Amino acid sequence: MNTNHTREITYLEAVREAMIQEMRLNKEVFLIGEDVGTYGGAFGVSKGMLEEFGPERIRDTPISEAAIAGAATGAALMGMRPVMEVMFMDFLTISTNQLVNQAAKMRFMFGGKCSIPMVIRAPSGSGTGAAAQHSQSLEAWFVNVPGIKVVAPSSPYDAKGLLIAAIRDNNPVLFMEHKLLYRLKGPVPEEPYTIPLQSAEVKREGRDLTIVAYSIMVPRALEAAEKLAAEGIEVEVVDPRSLKPLDKETIIRSVSKTGRVLITHEAPGTGGYGGELAAVIAGSAAFDYLDAPIRRLAGRDVPIPYNRTLEQAAVPQVEDIVAAARELAQEGR
C-alpha cells in the first residue's frame, strides 16, 4: 500500500472508486442495473457516475434482473467487461438462469473459445430492517456453481482491490457488498491496485483459536477478539476474502497454529459455506493439530425477520461470537 496517497474513505466510496478508475482505464467496462444512473443506485454507490460517463456506459434498465444478467452475459460474450448491479442480492434469484446456466457454462461448453468477463455486484445481508426478501446472504448457492467466482470483501481497502481484480478477471465474479459495511471507513490508496482473488488475510494474530470470518462477520469477529483479549484469550481472525477460489493454505496454517477454529457467517448454517470451510480444514494437515471439534456459528435457519430484535437474533452478533469463541477456547484447557 502506498501510504503517500492513502486516505480514509468508506467501503461504498471504495467500490465506486474502483468502478470509476477501471472505466477511465478501459472503454469496455460499463455499469448496468436498475436506477444506477440518475438515482445513483439503491445505496448511492454509482452517484455521480452518469455525469462523467453518460447513459451509454451507466445503463439504467427496466425492472428485470433476468434482463440485466442476460444483457451483461451477452455483452461479456461479445468482448465487453460489464459490471451489473442488482439492488439486493435476493433478486439474484431472478438472474439465476442467466448466471448459472449461461454465464457460468459458456466458456466450458465452447471449449474455451469465449470468456465471460463480468462482475455481478450484489448488496447482501441483514441489519437494515429490510426484512426477509431484501436481507439474504446467498453465497453458498453460487460457490456450488463451477464457473462462477465469489468474493466477499470486509473492508474498504479489500473492496477496492478485489473489485478491480474482479473486473479484470475473465470469468463471472459475484461480488458481495454487505449493506452494513457501506458506511465503514478505512484507509484506501488513491491509485488503482488489485488484490488477487485467491488470497486470504490474517486480520488479527492470536495463539488460542482461529476465527474464520468473511464480509460483515470480520469486523464483528475483530470486535469480539478485542473483548476476549481483555480476558486473556488471544484470537486470530482470518478473512478468506474470496470464497471461491479459496486460499486454503492461509486458513490451514492458522488452524494448525492455534488448534481450534470457529467458523462464522451470516447465512444460515445448514448447507452454508461454513460447512465447506470445516471440510477443508478437517481434511487438511491441520487435522493433526486440532485440539477441539471444528465449530460453526452461523445464521439461524429462518427467514430474516422484520422486527429489529428478532432480526439481530437471527444472525451472529459480537456477543454471540464472544460466547462461542470463549467456550471453544476453554474446552479441555
Residues that bind other proteins (CB under 8 A): 259, 287-293, 331-333
Q: Where would I find the H helices in 151-301? A: 156-168, 217-229, 248-258, 273-282
Closer to other proteins by Cβ: residue 71 or 290: 290
Closer to other proteins by Cβ: residue 62 or 332: 332
Closer to other proteins by Cβ: residue 183 or 333: 333
Q: Which H helix or E strand runs over 35?
A: none
Least CB distance to other proteins at residue 329 (A): 12
Is 178 considered catalytic here? no
Closest C-alpha among 260, 294, 313, 291 to residue 126: 313
Closer to other proteins by Cβ: residue 54 or 293: 293
Q: CA 250, CA 196: separation in Å to the nearest integer? A: 14
Least CB distance to other proteins at residue 206 (A): 17
Least CB distance to other proteins at residue 286 (A): 9
Closest C-alpha among 276, 282, 129 to residue 214: 276
- Burial of 146 from C-beta contacts in 10 A (0-12 / 13-18 / 19+): exposed
Per the rule left: phi > 0, alpha: psi between -120 and 50, beta: everything else, 225 is alpha
Closest C-alpha among 151, 120, 159 to residue 14: 159
Q: CA 233, CA 331: separation in Å to the nearest integer? A: 12
Closer to other proteins by Cβ: residue 111 or 332: 332
- Count the helices and strands in the chain (H runs, E runs): 12, 14
Show the beta-strand stretches assigned E in the chain.
6-10, 29-33, 58-60, 81-85, 119-124, 149-151, 173-178, 185-189, 201-204, 209-213, 235-239, 242-244, 261-268, 295-299
Closer to other proteins by Cβ: residue 312 or 330: 330
Radius of gyration of the chain (CA): 20
Q: Which of 5, 134, 178, 265 is catalytic?
A: 134
Q: CB under 8 Å to 262, separation ≥6 — which residues? A: 209, 210, 211, 212, 295, 296, 297, 321, 324, 325, 328
> Is 295 within 8 Å of 323 (Cβ atoms)?
no
Closer to other proteins by Cβ: residue 119 or 278: 278
Least CB distance to other proteins at residue 331 (A): 6
Least CB distance to other proteins at residue 232 (A): 15
Least CB distance to other proteins at residue 210 (A): 14
Least CB distance to other proteins at residue 164 (A): 40
Q: CA 81, CA 245: separation in Å to the nearest integer? A: 20
> Is 263 within 8 Å of 290 (Cβ atoms)?
no
Residues identified as active-site:
134
